[in-house]
Structure 1
């Protein structure tokens, strides 16, 4: 028997007549009747009581419809599961602790795997590590090189944090600063800076932050605000400098080498991509 015959049997039961079922299925009545007759022959018994102008499900037919619907429902679940598997294979789940590494990674993914959909998430470091190990992320962007006995890792980029001080700030003439020198200040920052906020709070526990969630508005304010802020040595961050004094910071943890990290599992589907990416990024450096 075929799934199509079970669908036809269900349609007859739902519509009540052969003619209405044929209309719904876009079949002629004669074609539908022949298909049901073949099904009955295969099952070895009649499913309908037939008169000259009418056919009604008998007890065997009622049982057949019940079981047919169960088979059709299971077939639908199988198709949904396979569609979900297919769609998942087109999605790349990337967690990151900072925005800039994504700006470098996403164009490379588009170049190598144009059919993949990148789903990025900004997450705290502990959650990044946990979700990477659990398998709910394909990749994590971390500010360190992990234990390579269980991980695959590609050096992604280096990023350094700088203080951006407005004209007239008492420390604007310094050649370099430590974050502790700025403790107690009020800073203008963008909400999506990731783990850089954690570093600032660790070194400057008495600092305050005016947080802007809109990136465009933040860029406008960064050009005119009297509040100090921060930039990094990425081109995107550089647009926020305005007329500020950009001063290097001496703290060790503001100089970061980001790594693209994956768990070294059997049949990891992006292994070749990581090999290609490492070569691709090496050409840029």
Structure 2
């Protein structure tokens, strides 16, 4: 017994006229008659008495109608509930963020979004750039915060934010590369003196600790290309995504790591140094499927911009079109 057949039955029971019922259902009369006969055959009873001049419910039809009405009402209630959870309709906005998002971003983002869209619950998912792009195209996300370069063909994006990368490395290696040897990141943060910059070519041959390529293939290839162009060819490449594991590998002398300036002190024995030529950066923006853009996605885009600014990102391509500041 299919739900649509029950709906056909209920409409015919209300109209008691095949022509008017078919018109309400936006279908031709013969298919409606066939569906009613199919339903009667399945139940083994006659639901309507038909003559040339009138259609009437049988006793069995009246009994079925009593049971069908609450079923159809429940289905409509469920549909309305689903409609309400769509973004912008006092529901839920599903958004992705990179696993290594700076902790400063999230509280600013969520507080700002609550102010801009008080009736919408934001549901954040920790996903890599490529995972986000896949889910966006499949309809599993409403918006994503992705790193570039990435495959965003067919998607639209908001303002582009940039945060230059530096190097996380052991103190002795920083000293050998020409940076001060004192562990400023571990003990003197925040410092009035800017950390001494490094040149990538001075680290040539040192192993590199980097995120797995499947997390963001285009960004991964871009980083290695810039390193090569700057004279840094890693002696080995080791993959890690968890910050604790990354720092453990660096402390063990297993490589250096490229990342933005840490929001919290690094473990004792590690330092962060900026690069003399800031060619490497996290370049980030919100992306979405054009047909699913709405007020909630627009509010999320602005809130992400505020969160990234709070974490030290610069907005390099402001695509907000309504003139709202910041």
The TM-score with structure 1 as length reference comes to 0.55
Q: Which residue number in structure 2 is paired with residue 163 of structure 1?
A: 167
For residues 260 and 218 of structure 1, what CA distance do their matches in structure 2 show? Answer: 28
Q: Which residue number in structure 1 is paired with residue 64 of structure 2?
A: 66
- Give the secondary structure class of the aligned counterpart of 1:246: strand
Say whether residues 1:243 and 2:269 are aligned partners: yes
Q: Which residue number in structure 1 is paired with residue 207 of structure 2?
A: 185
| Alignment CA distance shift 1:205-1:62 (3 Å) | farther
Identify which of 206, 215, 227 aligns with 2:254.
Answer: 227
Q: Deviations along 1:24-56, whole A, 9 cap, x unmatched?
A: xxxxxxxxxxxxxxxxxxxxxxxxxxxxxxxxx
Deviates more, 1:72-81 or 1:104-113: 104-113
| Alignment CA distance shift 1:151-1:190 (3 Å) | closer
Radius of gyration: which is bigger? 1
Q: Which residue number in structure 1 is paired with residue 38 of structure 2?
A: none
| Alignment CA distance shift 1:106-1:281 (3 Å) | closer
8 Å Cα contact 2:142-2:297 kept in structure 1: no
Q: Deviations along 1:55-79, whole A, 9 cap, x unmatched?
A: xxxx955433323323322222222
For residues 259 and 308 of structure 2, what CA distance do their matches in structure 1 show? Answer: 21
Query: 5+ unaligned residues in a row in structure 1: which ranges?
Result: 1-58
| Alignment CA distance shift 1:252-1:140 (3 Å) | farther
Query: 5+ unaligned residues in a row in structure 2: which ranges?
Result: 1-56, 180-196, 228-232, 315-326
For residues 158 and 77 of structure 2, what CA distance do their matches in structure 1 show? Answer: 36
For residues 268 and 95 of structure 2, what CA distance do their matches in structure 1 show? Answer: 32
Report 1 or 2 for greater relative contact order, CA contacts < 8 Å, sequence distance ≥ 6.
Answer: 2
Q: Which residue number in structure 2 is paired with residue 84 of structure 1?
A: 82
Say whether residues 1:176 and 2:159 are aligned partners: no
8 Å Cα contact 1:145-1:153 kept in structure 2: no
For residues 182 and 102 of structure 1, what CA distance do their matches in structure 2 show? Answer: 31
Deviates more, 1:169-178 or 1:85-94: 169-178
For residues 156 and 239 of structure 2, what CA distance do their matches in structure 1 show? Answer: 38
8 Å Cα contact 2:96-2:143 kept in structure 1: yes
Q: Which residue number in structure 2 is paired with residue 49 of structure 1?
A: none
Which has the larger helix fraction?
A: 1
Say whether residues 1:269 and 2:288 are aligned partners: no
| RMSD of aligned alpha carbons | 4.7
8 Å Cα contact 1:222-1:240 kept in structure 2: no
For residues 178 and 233 of structure 1, what CA distance do their matches in structure 2 show? Answer: 15
The TM-score with structure 2 as length reference comes to 0.49
8 Å Cα contact 1:166-1:243 kept in structure 2: yes
1:142 deviation in Å? 3.0
1:249 deviation in Å? 4.3
Q: Which residue number in structure 2 is paired with residue 132 of structure 1?
A: 136
